[in-house]
A = this chain, B = another copy of it.
Amino acid sequence: MIRYPNGKKYKPVQPTNPQKGKSHSYSNRGKTLEDDLNETNEYYLTRNIAVIHKKPVPIQIVNVNYPSRSAAVITEAYFRTPSTTDFNGVWNGYHIDFEAKETKSKTSFPLQNIHEHQVEHMKTVMKQGGITFLIVGFTSLERYFVVPYDIIEAKWARMKDGGRKSITLAEFDSETLEISLGFMPTLDYLKAMPSLISRNK
């Protein structure tokens, strides 16, 4: 169980949309976790709360055409495996660095959704004094969790030792920080930062 500073339990923000309820499924919303985070980051940016961006997808460019009078066209390129996490930036003097993943499962998050080199990257960021975590969205449940790096490391080690290859929803409930969908911002994950900071001390 993770508690907020001064012993209070972490209390997620309640969504301010009165029409939103159990009858509205995730697919009804028509947005991905990445959309929600981009919206949230835009909110943070315009209100001078934080400067956090999604990194572009890494691409290996093989061929480019330069037609006269129009824009260069990439005609052959391939996706590369990202060597870092997807999102990073700065908030309140802290370096923020995280990966976001969604799953349709209603019971657990498969660890194969993250790459070993991403876990390695998070470890190095942690060592340099950055704040690093994973945001997991259970889209079928509309539940979202901020997973501190040390929890990821522990579950990863368990898998390496031959244990289970996923994090159960029960573990999310007891070991991570839940955040709720809201209106503005959509997914206020920075609320979990004070708790992450106090863990690392």
A residues neighboring B (CB under 8 Å): 1-4, 9-10, 12, 45, 48, 50-51, 53, 55-59, 61, 64, 66, 70-80, 83-84, 88-97, 121, 124-125, 127-130
Q: Give the number of times this chain occurs in the complex, counting copies.
A: 2
Known: A57-B59, A64-B10, A66-B9. A128 touches B75 (CB 8 A): no
Q: Which residue of B lies closest to A61 (CB)?
A: B10
**Residues of the B chain whose Cβ atoms lie less than 8 Å from the Cβ of A97:** 90
Chain B residues positioned under 8 Å from A121 (CB to CB): 51
Which B residue sits closest to A131, measured CB to CB? B90
- B129 and A90 contact, CB distance less than 8 A: yes
Interchain residue pairs with CB less than 8 A apart (21): A3-B72, A9-B72, A10-B74, A50-B128, A51-B124, A55-B56, A56-B57, A56-B59, A57-B61, A59-B74, A59-B77, A73-B78, A74-B76, A74-B78, A77-B77, A89-B128, A90-B97, A92-B128, A93-B128, A93-B130, A95-B96
Bound-complex Cα distance A80 to B95 (A): 26
Out of B2, B74, B91, B95, name the residue touching A77 (CB < 8 Å): B74
Chain B residues with CB under 8 Å of A125's CB are 51, 90
Contact A1 B51 (CB under 8 A): no
